[in-house]
């Protein structure tokens, strides 16, 4: 068994079609895009634009707004003009709101097939989206699954959710429409993960993944990570949202952290630091805090290991691109498994930063 096991971890990504959402393409080999949703009244253009700009500044790549009333639809063009990322409209219950939103220069529409008023209304929205060249997310939600599927399966289980998605995909395809993204959300991590896994065996439209109604941080971040990580490690997911109660801006950092930890989108240095224990030989917390500060904003996929003593230190430090293992107020600096320098504790951060700059130069075109 050990002989047959893969030496390098990481499954390939689920092969999905490419779908263009304004300036961002998802699916295929495109980076997994991070998205969020505003909490303002969409018709309050000023507040909505302000929140979207705050999300953009945090790194958000796609933004969704709700469109429950005609005045919200009327505001869409004015919002779109003032933001730099693609605008997605989220529609529940009233297909007329979907048709109204599609009169504006939006970049994608999200429909919940379970509550849009039946197949004929769904088809009308599809036909208009097709004629306007706008993609659509078929956003199945366990909490609002069609009644016949709940009756057939007994409860909104993963197969029921996937059947719902496939049913609406088929209708869209019958209309000659293929600009589709799919989500299968549940507030139950196990249900969501199994639904996406099942879907990935049956269809190839890109997926928007997330755990809905995750609640309040910090538990909501942990719960989202618990659901998103198995999917990302399986290669599933083309765009991601971490749903947090309240201000959406922290959703962005949480999403990028999950992508970083699962190595699906590494955009910054990975800082590996030991938890410290009674063997600690240097002031590790101070060193890590200083390093974090000096690495802020650096877009380098370098792995840096900072370990507080020589027991596990050298072994772990060898696994990283650059590492340090401390002992008796000194630090041994490693590069690719070789000790290259020994420095005093006070010089550790400077020495690491010098090595990181050297690594950056050598790996500029990586
Ligand atoms: Fe403790 Fe050393 Fe391990 Fe850090 S590296 S947790 S100090 S044994």
| Domain residue ranges of the chain, discontinuous segments joined by + | 19-261, 270-362
Edge-to-edge strands of the sheet including 180-185?
180-185, 136-141, 108-111, 87-91, 62-66, 33-37, 239-240, 208-209
Q: How far is the CA of 235 from the centre of ligand 1 (A)?
A: 33
Going from the Cα of 172 to the center of ligand 1, the distance in angstroms, rounded, reads 57
Q: Do 19-261 and 270-362 come out as alike in CATH topology?
A: no
CA atoms of 24 and 29, how far apart (whole Å): 12
Question: Ligand 1, closest atom to CA 313?
Answer: 5
Architecture of domain 270-362: 2-Layer Sandwich (3.30)
Q: Is the CB of 272 under 6 A from ligand 1?
A: no
Distance 312 CA to ligand 1 centre (A): 6
The answer to whether the CB of 274 is under 6 A from ligand 1 is yes
Which tens digit of pLDDT belongs to each residue from 116-148? 988 999 999 999 999 999 999 999 999 989 999
Give yes or no for residue 24 having a pLDDT over 90. Answer: yes
Per-residue model confidence as pLDDT tens digits over 62-76? 999 999 999 999 999
Rounded to whole angstroms, the Cα distance separating 57 from 346 reads 35
Return the pLDDT at 348: 93
pLDDT in tens, 74-90: 999 999 999 999 999 99
Q: Which of 310, 303, 304 is nearest to 282 (CA)?
A: 310
Residue 110 pLDDT > 80: yes
What is the percentage of the chain residues whose pLDDT exceeds 70?
A: 98
Binding site membership of 273 for ligand 1 (Cβ less than 6 Å):
no
What pTM, to 2 d.p., does this model score? 0.93
Q: Is 331 in the pocket of ligand 1 (CB under 6 A)?
A: no
Determine the average pLDDT of the residues in 21-48: 98
Please state the rounded mean pLDDT for residues 260-271. 94
Rounded to whole angstroms, the Cα distance separating 214 from 222 reads 9
Could you tell me the pLDDT band of residue 4, with boundaries at 50, 70 and 90? confident
Q: Which atom of ligand 1 is nearest to the CA of 281?
A: 7
Our answer on whether the CB atom of 313 is closer than 6 Å to any ligand 1 atom is: yes
At 313, phi and psi to the nearest 5?
Answer: -50, -65
ipTM strictly over 0.95? yes
Q: Is the peptide bond before 137 cis (omega within 30 degrees of 0)?
A: no
> Using H for helix, E for strand and C for coil, what is the string for 115-132?
HCCCHHHHHHHHHHHHHH
**CA-280 nearest atom, ligand 1:** 7
By most ligand atoms within 8 Å of CB, the mutation choice from 309, 310, 317, 326 for ligand 1 is 309
Measure 325 CA to ligand 1 centroid, in angstroms. 9
* Mean pLDDT for all residues in the chain: 93
Confidence of residue 312 (pLDDT cuts 50, 70, 90): confident
Task: For residue 292, report the distance from its CA to the centre of ligand 1, in Å.
Answer: 19
Measure 306 CA to ligand 1 centroid, in angstroms: 10
Binding residues for [4Fe-4S] cluster: 274, 277, 309, 316
Q: Is 133 exposed, middle or buried (0-12, 13-18, 19+ CB in 10 A)?
A: exposed
Is the predicted pLDDT of residue 314 greater than 70, yes or no? no
Residue with the nearest Cα to atom 2 of ligand 1? 309
Average pLDDT in the 340-358 region? Answer: 93
Lookup result for tokens 């690719």: 336
Tell which CATH architecture fits domain 19-261: Alpha-Beta Barrel (3.20)
pLDDT attached to residue 310 = 78
């Amino acid at each position: 068994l050990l002989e047959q096991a893969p030496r390098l971890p990481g499954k390939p990504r689920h092969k999905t079609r490419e779908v263009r959402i304004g300036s961002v393409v998802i699916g295929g080999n495109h980076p997994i895009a991070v998205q969020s949703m505003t909490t303002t009244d969409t018709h309050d253009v000023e507040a909505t634009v302000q929140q979207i700009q705050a999300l953009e500044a945090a790194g958000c790549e796609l933004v969704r707004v709700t469109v429950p009333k005609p005045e919200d639809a009327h505001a869409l063009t004015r919002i779109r003009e003032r933001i730099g990322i693609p605008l997605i409209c989220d529609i529940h219950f009233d297909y007329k709101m979907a048709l109204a939103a599609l009169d504006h220069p939006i970049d994608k529409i999200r429909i919940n097939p379970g509550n849009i008023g039946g197949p004929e209304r769904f088809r009308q929205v599809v036909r208009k989206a097709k004629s306007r060249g706008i993609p659509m997310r078929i956003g199945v939600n366990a909490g609002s699954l069609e009644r016949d599927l709940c009756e057939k399966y007994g409860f909104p289980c993963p197969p029921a959710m996937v059947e719902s998605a496939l049913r609406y995909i088929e209708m869209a395809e019958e209309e000659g429409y293929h600009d589709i993204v799919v989500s299968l959300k549940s507030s139950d991590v196990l249900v969501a993960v199994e639904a996406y896994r099942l879907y990935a065996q049956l269809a190839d439209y890109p997926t928007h993944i997330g755990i809905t109604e995750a609640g309040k941080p910090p538990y909501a971040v942990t719960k989202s990570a618990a659901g998103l990580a198995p999917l990302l490690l399986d290669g599933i997911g083309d765009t991601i949202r971490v749903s947090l109660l309240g201000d959406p801006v922290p959703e962005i950092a949480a999403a990028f952290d999950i992508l970083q930890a699962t190595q699906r989108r590494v955009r910054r240095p990975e800082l590996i630091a030991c938890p410290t224990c009674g063997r600690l030989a240097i002031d590790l917390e101070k060193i890590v805090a200083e390093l974090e500060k000096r690495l802020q904003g650096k877009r380098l996929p370098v792995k840096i290991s900072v370990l507080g003593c020589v027991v596990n230190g050298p072994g772990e430090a060898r696994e990283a691109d650059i590492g340090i293992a401390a002992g008796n107020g000194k630090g041994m600096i490693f590069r690719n498994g070789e000790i290259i320098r020994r420095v005093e504790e006070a010089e550790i951060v400077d020495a690491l930063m010098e090595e990181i700059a050297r690594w950056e130069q050598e790996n500029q075109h990586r």
